[in-house]
Amino acid sequence: MFLSSMAIAYSGAIMPGPMLAVVVAESPRQGVRAGPLVVLGHGLLELALLGLLVLGLGPLLVREGVQAVLSVVGGVMLVATAAAMLVSVARGTARLDCEAPGGRAGGRAVLGGIVSSLSNPYWSIWWATIGLSLLTKAYALGAAALVAFYVGHILGDLTWYSAVSGVIAVGRRWITPRRYQAMVAVMACFLLALAAWFVVSGVRLAA
């Protein structure tokens, strides 16, 4: 259960998405800890969702109407996030100045992990389908299997995104303020593209 959960987590983590955009944007500022901080927010949210799925939320999430709402709302959240990133670039406030560990910057990365997960409708759909299937098997095996399922899943995300932030942190000395702002702008445009995809998908499901 632990290994299968970790393998499936890797299959999702390596695909570009909102979480990757947040990790890439925060890594030059936060260093290698950007990955773990973003995954912390993501993991807390997934722990809450795990509890809801155990209580029977799964069948509700797979309904087309719910998926449509999640897609549109997620798209709107991504637009807001991307807009804030572009505004910071335009105003010149997107800087590499690191704040003290545990300061607001760390909290922003954790919040980014939560928001990037909530804004991705495919995250909730994944949990309502593939995740729920694995969860059912783990539930039948007992509490130890549930813990193994969750830990394996989080470790998959943690190791991948930590590696991403580590690679970017190593090259941080070559990332000038202008290059960093360009990086943030590119990530914002990527989020806007995802937002358009989510909204269009939601509208089609609702039609």
Cα–Cα distance between 172 and 185 in angstroms, integer? 17
Q: Between 167 and 174, where is the model more confident?
A: 167
Q: What does the pLDDT look like over 100-121, one tens digit per residue? A: 444 445 788 898 899 888 887 7
Cα–Cα distance between 120 and 174 in angstroms, integer? 31
Cα–Cα distance between 41 and 23 in angstroms, integer? 12
Q: What does the pLDDT look like over 116-150, one tens digit per residue? A: 888 877 787 777 766 766 777 787 788 898 899 89
Q: What does the pLDDT look like over 53-72, one tens digit per residue? A: 778 776 776 678 877 887 88
- Give every CB contact of residue 24 below 8 A, 6+ residues apart in sequence: 164, 168, 183, 187
Q: What is the pTM of this model?
A: 0.73
